[in-house]
A and B are shown apart, each in its own frame.
Chain A
């Protein structure tokens, strides 16, 4: 089949072409959370509109949830107000709500897959730019703003222009100590933070299909950091095995029927693309960001670039980055001191991330003066980690073990950087002020590298701490 998955799934969901030339696209699954939905419900009410498909809409709370003390009412009056708004709105409109009282609350992009809501071939929208995560299943995951949430609530559709499709072909295999996070940081560094504007990214190649579903989610999650609103992986047996048996997954004969349908969607070997980009996984090394955009990432062994070696158009942001980070040109990134280690987020807060981190951390202690904490991505991730005894490993090493949520990825809850603290973070954005302190600094890296930094108190090579790490796959 010459068609790629993206175009097949798009056409299947296309209701009509609008006068503007945009397509009206049916949204198969709408996920909502407390930060970007209240204004949309308000607009709906002002217009006297109903939610068209409450049965295709699911809600949770993640962004503002405190991870230390979750007693209601929250100490933060504004956060409490937002909680009450989503409780009220979901009740009024008959929307299933995975709140704190349920055992499935968590980051919206973690609970969707976990519940089996996320399936291949779907169009999935959510008022959050990391909705691309769901593309790992061979779905089209679209991050949307509040006006579009209003549209999807009211009509289960949205107006959208069809993007082009770029295949990113990752050949070879990852070496020990190198992870999915390193693949996506490398792609963003190579193609730029705006290189994906107007494109959907299809991640393909043997290195991608050797990854677990959770690793694929890490890659698709950060598509938007490279400017691509959508990122996806064609579904394969790994995908079907992951979905099978989950709460909202088709069961019995329906599952077999579904697998047949899902297989039929995947891009064939002769599928056509608007662009192709090749990357070799064999030579990839751990990646670390040195600046204030996720594209300002280098291999652990490299030095921070000098301004004159950069393209003209990158220089101004690079100068701003060096100033904010307090770094100099041509300095090694390895050895940079850290104050905080954060493991969590929709990028790397899943059970396999926690397992790998615990494997590295076991028997070690967090370096003196480093504040370290783990925020599981969902209550299910936390429960599974507890069954495996992971919290004790983290606590024994000096980590704080917290409740589920977005936490310090964006510092909307009490978990924030203070002043100019430097954080080694498994999250997705190193923007100025992102982690809650306007002068705070963020180094993005894989969970394993966050552990290495926590143990030594500086950016370190995980392979030198745990001699031959065998990634859990």
Chain B
């Protein structure tokens, strides 16, 4: 996989609703599935313990429901992705087909990880999220579009202005959410800064 320089200004498709506050990264991807040296194949373990019993029987969970299959937008509530910094969590969701997330709030490291993967995580107030969730429950095939330049999400006939950190929004639109090459282009400045930091250049032994 080479560096991806792809502008992400628009995501559309159907959505899946996973309600609940404080859904942590251990629930999104249990630690025992992180014994891997690549992210490939993590998609099938997304929400694993919420979706399957110990003996592998399906439990009721949105990710097991046929009506939500093929969804590309994940709708959640408050503090989604709290806990561990494991990028395995958003990677598992992305590999399960999720291209954007809509919620009341996202944990900080999780939102940063999503952006670094090119997955917009946008926020709406509680009431709007509840409405959007209801619309999707009523019609799981309802079409959703997320437009980053205008900060508008459209759910069927309704549209809402969403929020997201300005830096994340502009990185996605400009296509430099994969930040390595931008950072690398400042190598001289990096080395210059390092040379002025006492513990790196001065009293370090």
- A-side residues, CB < 8 A to B, are 12-16, 18-22, 24, 26, 28, 35-36, 38-39, 42-43, 46-47, 49, 52-53, 56, 63-64, 76, 78-79, 81-82, 85, 119, 121-122, 127-129, 131, 143-148, 150-151, 154-161, 193-194, 197-198, 224-225, 227, 229, 248-251, 254-255, 257-258, 261, 292-293, 313, 316-317, 320, 410-412, 429, 431-434, 436, 438-439
Contact = CB atoms under 8 A, between A and B. Distances in A.
B54 interface: yes
18 contacts: A13-B193, A20-B176, A21-B166, A24-B183, A46-B2, A146-B88, A155-B186, A156-B194, A157-B183, A159-B182, A194-B82, A194-B105, A194-B107, A250-B199, A261-B203, A317-B21, A432-B27, A432-B49
A160 B108 CA distance: 11
Given A147-B117, A148-B116, A38 B37 contact: yes
Nearest to B38: A39
Given A412-B35, A431-B26, A431-B27, A36 B85 contact: yes
B171 interface: yes
A309 to B, nearest CB: 17
Nearest to A159: B179
Contacts of B174: 19-20
Given A36-B86, A250-B203, A293-B24, 4 more contacts: A35-B34, A161-B165, A197-B107, A255-B203
Nearest to A129: B85
Contact of A147 (B31, B116, B165): B116
B26 A432 contact: yes
A317 B20 contact: yes
B interface, size bucket: 35 or more
Interface string B132-161: 000000000000000000000000000000
Contact of B49 (A21, A131, A438): A438
A64 B84 contact: no
In order of increasing CB-CB distance, the 9 nearest A-B pairs are: A147-B116, A145-B87, A145-B113, A78-B35, A438-B49, A38-B37, A254-B203, A129-B85, A146-B87
B203 A47 contact: no
B173 to A, nearest CB: 10
A250 B205 CA distance: 6
Nearest to B77: A316
Contacts of B24: 293, 429, 431
Contact of B109 (A63, A229, A261, A412): A229
A79 B35 CA distance: 6
A434 B26 contact: yes
B20 A410 contact: no
Contacts of B116: 145, 147-148
Contacts of A229: 108-109
| B108, B126, B166, B171 pick with most chain A CB within 10 angstroms | B108
Nearest to A122: B199
A209 B178 CA distance: 41
Interface in B179-205: 179-180, 182-184, 186-187, 189-190, 193-194, 197-200, 202-205
Nearest to A226: B82
Nearest to B35: A78
Contact of A13 (B54, B184, B197): B197
Contact of A438 (B54, B203, B205): B54
B166 to A, nearest CB: 6
A15 B180 contact: no
A224 B2 CA distance: 32
Contacts of A85: 37
Contact of A81 (B37, B85, B166, B171): B37
B49 A433 contact: yes
Contacts of A436: 31-32
Contact of B78 (A24, A157, A254, A313): A313
A151 B91 CA distance: 17
A194 B79 contact: yes
B199 A121 contact: yes
B62 interface: no
B182 A412 contact: no
Contacts of B202: 257
A155 B183 contact: yes
A206 to B, nearest CB: 29
B109 A129 contact: yes
A241 B170 CA distance: 45
B43 to A, nearest CB: 15
A194 B105 CA distance: 9
Given A36-B86, A250-B203, A26 B193 contact: yes
B61 to A, nearest CB: 13
B83 interface: yes
Contacts of A249: 205
